[in-house]
C-alpha cells in the first residue's frame, strides 16, 4: 500500500496582525474586519499567514476544529490514494494530479463570510 505525506497549507485568508495589551490578546471584530479568528490567534504569539503549512496528522491539533472537520472527506480520500475527478481548470484552485508524485486539493472552511479561508491539501507519495 502506498505511503503518503499530507500537508495542509493556508492558501487564502486574512489573519491580520495579532495585537496584545501586556499579555492579553486584543480580540478584533472578526467579521467586520474580514479576519479569520483561527488565523488571527495563530500560535498565541503570531497570527498564521498565507503559505503557512501544517503536517497532517502530526499537527492536526494546531488546525481550527471547524476547518479540520471540513477537510475530513478530502483527507481520507487522499490518504488512501484516491484521485478526485474535479480540476477547476483556469481558476486559482486548479489542482495538480500526479499519482506518482504530488496531488493537491482545495477546501474552503465553513465560515460563509469574508472571514472564511481556503487551504490547499498537498499529498506527496513517499513510498509504494
Domain ranges, ordered by start, for the chain: 3-127
Q: Is 96 within 8 Å of 103 (Cβ atoms)?
A: yes
Give the global pTM: 0.94
Q: Is 78 within 8 Å of 105 (Cβ atoms)?
A: yes
pLDDT of residue 107: 96
Tens digit of each residue's pLDDT (9 = 90 or more) over 74-124: 999 999 999 898 899 999 999 999 878 899 999 999 999 999 999 999 999
Three-state secondary structure string covering the chain = CCEEEEEEEEEECCCCCCCEECCEECCCCHHHHCCCHHHHHCCCCCCCCCCCEEEECCCHHHCCHHHHHHHHHHHHHHHCCCCCCCCCCCCCCCCCCCCCCEEEEEEECCCCCCCCCEEEEEEEEEEC
Q: Is 7 within 8 Å of 122 (Cβ atoms)?
A: yes
How far is Cα 35 from Cα 116, in angstroms, rounded to an integer? 8
Amino acid at each position: 500500500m502506498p505511503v503518503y505525506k499530507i500537508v495542509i497549507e493556508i492558501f487564502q485568508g486574512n489573519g491580520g496582525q495579532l495585537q496584545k495589551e501586556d499579555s492579553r490578546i486584543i480580540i478584533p471584530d472578526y467579521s467586520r474586519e474580514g479576519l479569520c479568528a483561527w488565523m488571527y490567534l495563530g500560535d498565541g504569539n503570531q497570527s498564521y499567514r498565507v503559505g503557512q503549512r501544517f503536517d497532517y496528522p502530526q499537527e492536526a491539533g494546531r488546525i481550527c476544529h471547524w476547518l479540520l472537520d471540513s477537510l475530513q472527506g478530502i483527507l481520507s480520500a487522499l490518504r488512501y490514494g484516491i484521485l478526485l475527478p474535479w480540476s477547476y481548470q483556469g481558476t486559482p484552485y486548479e489542482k495538480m494530479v500526479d499519482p506518482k508524485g504530488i496531488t493537491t486539493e482545495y477546501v474552503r472552511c465553513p465560515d460563509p463570510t469574508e472571514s472564511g479561508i481556503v487551504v490547499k491539501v498537498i499529498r506527496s507519495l513517499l513510498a509504494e
